[in-house]
């Protein structure tokens, strides 16, 4: 397999992290769960730990802002630890409580936050006002919502841009989720021999 068509077929076969978690982002309740997952993925921690910890939240019924607030700090730390999220358990529990409290008190829910935003940059600014959410978390959250939320249009992440350069791919935004997975799971780990895209790659250096 070769050429742009072959490359496109390979990229289209890569699931996003949201898809791997079983989320249907056309549903508001799943958009909230992706918001929660994005906060977990944004820390400097392995994706496997973030996914495992997210699933622990689901198992414990912590699937709404109100449920997370009601759980309280001690319970959140327990759930985070049970998923292996021990390095950032205290700070993440505090961040989650702060973010959920702000969401409920100032907007009610994520859909109203989106409606209140004037444009994509205003949406990003509002999200970064939440405790524990910075540019990385905003990109993780919003890149999956392109085409779903009208104002979800973040600038592509550095890792997506670098992988696109390696592959000679022009349509970065549409393929950003796949590009990020390639970068995190193959390029940064130098697993070129296992990468399906090795035949397309220009082997440029990916910065950490």
Contact 39, 95 (CB under 8 A): yes
- pLDDT, residue 1, reads 43
Query: Any idea of the CA torsion for 140, 145, 149, 153, to the nearest 10 degrees?
Result: 60
Q: Which pLDDT tens digit goes with each residue over 64-108? A: 999 999 999 999 999 999 999 999 999 999 999 999 999 999 999
Q: How many angstroms separate the Cα of 24 from the Cα of each of 19, 79, 127, 173, 188?
A: 7, 24, 21, 19, 29
Q: Is 49 helix (H, G, I), strand (E, B) or coil?
A: helix
Tell me which residue of 125, 178, 180 sits closest to 151, measured CA to CA: 125
pTM score, whole prediction: 0.89
More confident: 181 or 53: 53
DSSP structural state of residue 21:
T
* Angle between the N-to-C axes of helices 28-41 and 135-143, in degrees from 0 to 180, rounded to the nearest 10: 140
The sign of the torsion formed by the CA atoms of 107, 77, 39, 55 equals negative
* Domains along the chain with CATH numbers: 17-143 (1.10.340.30), 156-200 (no CATH)
CB atoms < 10 A from the CB of 44, how many?
A: 7
Buried b (16+ CB within 10 A) or exposed e, 9-38: ebbeebebbbeebebebeeeebbbbbbbbb
Q: Using pLDDT thresholds of 50, 70 and 90, give the confidence band for residue 55.
A: very high
Q: How many angstroms separate the Cα of 174 from the Cα of each of 7, 101, 119, 143, 159?
A: 14, 33, 19, 9, 15
- pLDDT, residue 191, reads 80
**CA pair distance 136, 120, nearest whole angstrom:** 15
Tell me which residue of 101, 91, 23, 37 sits closest to 67, measured CA to CA: 101
Contact 186, 195 (CB under 8 A): yes
Mean pLDDT of the chain: 93
Q: Using pLDDT thresholds of 50, 70 and 90, give the confidence band for residue 204.
A: low
Q: Which pLDDT tens digit goes with each residue over 116-165? A: 999 999 999 999 999 999 999 999 999 999 999 999 999 999 999 999 99
């Amino acid at each position: 397999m070769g050429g742009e068509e072959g490359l496109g077929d390979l990229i289209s076969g890569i699931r996003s992290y949201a898809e791997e978690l079983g989320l249907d982002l056309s549903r508001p309740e799943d958009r909230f769960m992706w918001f929660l997952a994005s906060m977990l993925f944004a820390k400097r921690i392995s994706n496997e730990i973030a996914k495992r910890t997210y699933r622990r939240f689901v198992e414990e019924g912590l699937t709404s802002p109100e449920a997370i607030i009601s759980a309280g700090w001690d319970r959140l730390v327990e759930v985070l630890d049970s998923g292996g999220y021990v390095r950032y358990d205290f700070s993440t529990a505090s961040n989650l409580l702060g973010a959920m409290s702000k969401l409920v008190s100032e907007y009610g829910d994520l859909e109203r936050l989106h409606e209140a935003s004037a444009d994509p940059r205003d949406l990003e600014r509002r999200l970064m006002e939440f405790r524990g959410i910075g540019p990385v978390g905003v990109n993780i959250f919003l890149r999956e919502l392109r085409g779903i939320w009208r104002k979800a249009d973040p600038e592509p992440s550095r890792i997506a841009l670098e992988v696109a350069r390696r592959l000679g791919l022009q349509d970065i935004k549409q393929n950003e989720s796949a590009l990020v997975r390639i970068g995190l799971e193959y390029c940064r780990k130098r697993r070129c021999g296992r990468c399906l895209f090795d035949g397309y790659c220009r082997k440029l250096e990916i910065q950490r």
